[in-house]
């Protein structure tokens, strides 16, 4: 779990297992990728946010993407709650927006 971080650019990757990234303030781009496992990203702010998994679920709450929020799950589901972005791009089998 990554919590309360500040960076110009941030990238987190896991080949197996879950990634939880919360309360981040990134000046430019935030990228979180998992080959298999769940991505949970809460309260992150960045210019562009990319969340991507091949197999697993993505839960994204309270994101503030200045430009783009891109979320992709090849298999699994995506839950997006209370996000702010100019562009919200999603590719998935199952998407729930609220």
Helix, strand or coil for residue 23?
strand
**pLDDT, tens only, 42-72:** 999 999 999 998 888 899 999 898 888 888 8
Q: Are 90 and 80 in contact (CB under 8 A)?
A: yes
Structure tokens at 40: 């949970």
Judge whether residue 97 has pLDDT over 80: no
Cβ burial of 12 (10 Å; 0-12, 13-18, 19+) is middle
End-to-end CA distance of the chain: 25
Question: Residues 30-52: what's their mean pLDDT?
Answer: 93
Question: Residues 24-37: what's their mean pLDDT?
Answer: 93
> Would you list the domain boundaries of the chain?
2-97
Judge whether residue 33 has pLDDT over 90: yes
- pTM confidence score: 0.83
pLDDT level of residue 18 (50, 70, 90 thresholds): very high
């Amino acid at each position: 779990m990554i919590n309360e971080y500040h960076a110009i650019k941030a990238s987190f990757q896991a080949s197996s297992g879950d990634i939880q990234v919360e309360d981040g303030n990134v000046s430019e781009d935030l990228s979180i990728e998992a080959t298999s496992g769940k991505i949970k990203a809460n309260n992150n702010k960045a210019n562009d946010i990319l969340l991507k998994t091949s197999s697993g679920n993505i839960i994204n709450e309270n994101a503030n993407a200045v430009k783009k929020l891109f979320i992709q799950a090849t298999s699994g589901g995506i839950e997006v709650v209370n996000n702010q972005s100019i562009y919200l791009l999603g590719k998935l089998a199952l998407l729930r927006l609220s």
